[in-house]
A and B are shown apart, each in its own frame.
Chain A
């Protein structure tokens, strides 16, 4: 029972993180039909940037997270401006190869700058609620909820789930209630018509990249708090998040959120009950099966052919 509960929580936390990354993929794809492979690397750089800020400067943790979000938003817009915008009217294959090129460049830049070593946030830099521990002698639990069988539920996990829910809700409101959200939806429906109605398409695309990247940065910090920060984290989590976006129907923000949760749970339960070695493979299998059987995803409208 306790194992089940732990895996459930683990899956929900992972799912929340995947959802945060997946909306970045799905929003960009919804408007310019490009799989932004570099999104995983932006997520990774967000984690590194926050880590550098808390270790090298006296900034408090939360300020570092906010700055890291700003940094990633700017980085996302910059990537769009430098690499993708000149190829807006080029064949789709060119843009896709460019995206792979950006991803490769950023990943190896990170490897060169910070080596492949795993890093974590130092304990004294983290706010108190993220420092959960258990006193082995007294059995007293700090910053965590004790569970039966001696397991604990750290506040970090609860915080991540809550944060993901809040951010997702905020994003949903942003897309549906604000002017920029309306412009984004218009561009996703038909960029040319949107442009004719006076919407500056390129600006909207920049904003989309910025929002997706900022959410990616938050997810990066969360992974850094819970697991470890390393250059390849963007690649592994990025693929799982992309699978989540595909599962929910690419281009569909609500779908990406639910897809993230499903992928997270599938990894946790599959890894826990079937085989730990194949933990990464579950996302791939789900992704392939969804693309082959129902390319529009669970929640997407079925389109004739998504070329």
Chain B
């Protein structure tokens, strides 16, 4: 990754940016061809494909965020969904209760996420391995229980927040899947940039040193507590950013979205791509994030299918750890 602007990279970026144009072009062409002959389109329309891409992008964002704690500092975070929840409900409640604009609620949600990341992170600084994993899991479950039970806080049973207004920019309401696509694209670019710059800075090197040997890192003069806290805060902030975007994609919230298995899903993406690797996290997010949606379209909606999807993810985790513990996509750098 020395030359960041190689021709291949520029072409890739251009393709990603013009995917909607391509999709709408195909859509239009297919409609012109098929409508004349009275066929039903065998493929979903461009708009719904863009929606799947936006959802996939959301998972990419979360995978990149989780990668900071799991990959760089080597701590297993089983409660990442907690920050996703914090971000989602911060934006949802600020917008519906107080009528605050999305563009103000978004940074507030990110700050709130970082706050909760620190709140969880500081007591767990000296924990490693299993115990850290268990505390993170318990923390996310507690947040889930609170949102589920505290009706005065959320204003509805089961953490339902309905009719979250859409953000608007220059008077245009961002309610189309096309806008969601670019919205998440910009967020991903931002997060990847931050994550990349951190990885290749003093901070990133300190994180990797902590991952490899905490005591050795400390004796080399690295302030372990400070760098770990920073990792928790940044990772949590990205999770909250994902939650904030989710409110725009769905326009309502229910607590079921933030179940424990979602954390595992995101973990699966990071593991698939290879922990500690941004490109790996992105590709893992794209593969697993889109897999479920693609399966749903190909096989039709079926509740058993959702279970089958998670069954496959479980098998993926087992096989990866057995045969390719450094990830399928790239070797650990």
**Any B CB within 8 A of the CB of A226:** no
**Any B CB within 8 A of the CB of A178:** no
Q: Give the segment of A66-74, A83-91, A123-131, A188-196 that binds chain B.
A: A83-91
Checking A35, A98, A104, A107 against B130 with a beta-carbon cut-off of 8 angstroms, the contacting residue is A35
- The contact sample of 26 A-B pairs, CB cut-off 8 A, is A35-B133, A90-B325, A92-B130, A93-B76, A96-B130, A101-B313, A101-B314, A101-B318, A102-B314, A104-B264, A104-B310, A105-B318, A108-B314, A112-B304, A246-B134, A278-B145, A278-B149, A280-B141, A281-B141, A281-B145, A284-B141, A287-B134, A288-B139, A291-B127, A291-B134, A292-B127
- Number of residue pairs A-B, CB distance < 8 angstroms: 120
**Any B CB within 8 A of the CB of A182:** no
Q: Which residues of B contact A (CB under 8 A)?
A: 74, 76, 78, 123-124, 126-131, 133-135, 138-139, 141-142, 145-146, 148-149, 260-261, 264, 267, 271, 304, 307-308, 310-311, 313-318, 321-322, 325
Are B316 and A101 touching (Cβ within 8 A)?
A: yes
Q: Which residues of A contact B (CB under 8 A)?
A: 33, 35, 83, 86-87, 90-98, 100-109, 111-112, 115, 235, 239, 242, 246, 275, 277-278, 280-281, 284-285, 287-288, 291-292, 295, 305-307
- Known contacts: A104-B261, A285-B142, A292-B123. The answer to whether A97 contacts B321 by CB under 8 A is yes
User: Which A residues touch B126, using CB under 8 A?
Assistant: 305
Query: What's the minimum C-beta distance from B176 to chain A, rounded to whole angstroms?
Result: 35
- Known contacts: A97-B271, A108-B307, A295-B127. The answer to whether A288 contacts B138 by CB under 8 A is yes
Query: What's the minimum C-beta distance from A62 to chain B, rounded to whole angstroms?
Result: 32
Are B142 and A281 touching (Cβ within 8 A)?
A: yes
CA distance A146 to B180 in the complex (A): 63
- Known contacts: A87-B322, A104-B313, A291-B134. The answer to whether A97 contacts B308 by CB under 8 A is no
User: Which A residues touch B138, using CB under 8 A?
Assistant: 284-285, 287-288
Are B318 and A98 touching (Cβ within 8 A)?
A: yes
Are A108 and B317 touching (Cβ within 8 A)?
A: no
| Dominant SS among interface residues on chain B | helix
Are B317 and A100 touching (Cβ within 8 A)?
A: yes
CA distance A277 to B271 in the complex (A): 34
Q: List 17 extra interface pairs beyond A105-B311, A108-B311, A277-B145, CB under 8 A.
A: A33-B130, A35-B130, A35-B134, A87-B321, A87-B322, A90-B325, A96-B129, A97-B267, A97-B317, A97-B321, A101-B316, A106-B314, A108-B310, A112-B304, A277-B148, A285-B138, A291-B127
Are B141 and A83 touching (Cβ within 8 A)?
A: no
User: Which A residues touch B146, using CB under 8 A?
Assistant: 281
User: Which B residues touch A115, using CB under 8 A?
Assistant: 304
- Known contacts: A275-B149, A278-B145, A288-B135. The answer to whether A98 contacts B311 by CB under 8 A is no
Are B149 and A307 touching (Cβ within 8 A)?
A: no
- Known contacts: A104-B261, A112-B308, A280-B145. The answer to whether A91 contacts B325 by CB under 8 A is yes
